[in-house]
Copies of this chain bind each other. A is one copy, B any other.
């Protein structure tokens, strides 16, 4: 093609591209000059009915380009200016007070709805709206602690997302080594329980015949796994995490497995806080695995106990002391205790007992178990099956729970009963083995055994090492 013709062609094509861009994207003009606040107002007005998609697109772009300061201003605008229409709300209240009929209740419900809810729905007209709104809430959550007056905005987001991300709209997909790389990259990034160290590590969790990973997706945000669970198929219920995720482990054949272990569950979207799907994911994965691997008989977790070490620390010197002897605290303060067999054996019964107390008796202010992971699984209807001493002796595992892990058991036949007991009376369903740990008869003799193994109190080594922590 001669050079001159190429130039002409090139110009033609650029002119066309330009033209189409104008024609398709911004046929109505003027959005570029408006502030986000003015765009929001336009989107809520009659103009928004005609040009909703264009206005929504402009507003999303505007928001995406905002700096931190502008976003803060935007949130306060949402809180202050886009609440319910005051006059209509007053009238609706008056009407209800005069005659509390169903119709008046309905009017009250409508009148009390903040205008920002409709704004959010209209922002969703443009491509990418849902994902941007989820990120918007994530940004809002970061502001919330310092600005409680933004709480109603947050409540509106949560309400909206509970409707949009209803489990009926979510799609479960298997994540494996033939999944798109951009999705897998997010699995690496979002894994919140046991860090994934690069692509080789990831492959080890997805590719072998005895590994599974499942995630929920929303059709409108197909590039984002919302929550995912990693599963190991094992022979017997595992008590330690390290062998499960070791780079050089030997996979077993699918047919040899009798147990499915949920060893990591991660929510990925801060912006969806309070909209729970982990529960549904686990149950659907159980169904899926039953179909796929008919030899499975047990569905358990191998879970961290993230609040244990902090709670234990708070027991030191308290009334708890009676059941938790000072020798235990001293022993745990010795770095490397879990690597010295004698010390380790001596610590075990006392630490298991402490963990049992924590899991069965320690409560948060709302009367639910103190441990967040325990709350999640127990509320799902799982039972506390086993306490795993030295289940996770990684640096993180020792720091947050002195190495203790827990197996929660999902027994399809007991889920509903467990959940009801838990929900109504706060009862924690636990195996006999765990219950027995509570009832340890003579802690005194145990702690004396332990004491013998410790360096003398006040010895330099101990003090220094303790300080070093």
**Which of A109, A279, A381 is the most central at the interface, judged by chain B CB atoms within 10 Å of its CB?**
A109
A453 within 8 A of partner (CB): no
Task: Decide: A12 and B10 in contact? CB cutoff 8 A.
Answer: no
**Stretch among A163-171, A316-324, A345-353, A432-440 lining the B interface:** A163-171
Per-position binary interface string of chain A over residues 404-431, scored 1 when its CB falls under 8 Å from any chain B CB and 0 otherwise: 0000000111011011100110000000
**Stretch among A66-74, A139-147, A227-235, A286-294 lining the B interface:** A286-294
Q: Given contacts A12-B12, A79-B102, A297-B6, are A178 and B168 in contact (CB under 8 A)?
A: no
> Nearest residue in B to A19 (C-beta to C-beta)?
B9
Residues of chain A in range 105-152 having any CB-CB distance to chain B below 8 Å: 105-106, 108-109, 112-114, 121, 124-127, 129-130, 149, 151-152
> Nearest residue in B to A102 (C-beta to C-beta)?
B152
Q: Give A102 to B151 CA distance when docked, in angstroms.
A: 9
How far, in Å, is A11 (CB) from chain B's closest CB? Answer: 9
> Nearest residue in B to A288 (C-beta to C-beta)?
B24
Task: Decide: B220 and A169 in contact? CB cutoff 8 A.
Answer: yes
Q: Give A281 to B52 CA distance when docked, in angstroms.
A: 13
From B152, B162, B168, contact of A105 by CB (8 A) = B152
A467 within 8 A of partner (CB): no
Task: Decide: A113 and B103 in contact? CB cutoff 8 A.
Answer: no
> Nearest residue in B to A109 (C-beta to C-beta)?
B112
Considering only CB atoms and an 8 Å cut-off, how many residues of chain A contact the other chain?
Answer: 103
Q: Given contacts A109-B84, A412-B23, are A177 and B182 in contact (CB under 8 A)?
A: yes
Q: Give A346 to B179 CA distance when docked, in angstroms.
A: 53
Q: Give A416 to B177 CA distance when docked, in angstroms.
A: 39
A280 within 8 A of partner (CB): yes
Per-position binary interface string of chain A over residues 200-227, scored 1 when its CB falls under 8 Å from any chain B CB and 0 otherwise: 0001000000000000000110010000
> Which B residues touch A6, using CB under 8 A?
297
> Which B residues touch A83, using CB under 8 A?
102, 105
> Nearest residue in B to A46 (C-beta to C-beta)?
B423
How far, in Å, is A333 (CB) from chain B's closest CB? Answer: 41
Task: Decide: B46 and A424 in contact? CB cutoff 8 A.
Answer: yes
> Which B residues touch A415, using CB under 8 A?
27-28, 50-51
Q: Give A103 to B199 CA distance when docked, in angstroms.
A: 47
Q: Give A199 to B182 CA distance when docked, in angstroms.
A: 11
> Which B residues touch A169, using CB under 8 A?
124, 130, 164, 169, 219-220
> Which B residues touch A412, using CB under 8 A?
1, 23, 27
A192 within 8 A of partner (CB): no
Give 19 pairs: A residue, B residue, CB < 8 Å, sorted on A.
Answer: A10-B258, A10-B294, A12-B12, A14-B294, A27-B412, A46-B419, A46-B423, A84-B105, A93-B108, A106-B156, A109-B112, A109-B114, A112-B112, A168-B220, A169-B169, A177-B180, A199-B199, A219-B219, A219-B220
Using A50-B423, A52-B167 as known contacts, list a sample of 12 further A-B pairs with CB atoms less than 8 Å apart, ordered by residue number in A.
A13-B16, A14-B295, A17-B255, A23-B412, A27-B415, A50-B416, A86-B100, A89-B100, A93-B97, A121-B163, A163-B164, A178-B180
* 7 closest residue pairs by CB, A with B: A50-B419, A13-B294, A109-B112, A124-B168, A219-B219, A46-B423, A178-B180
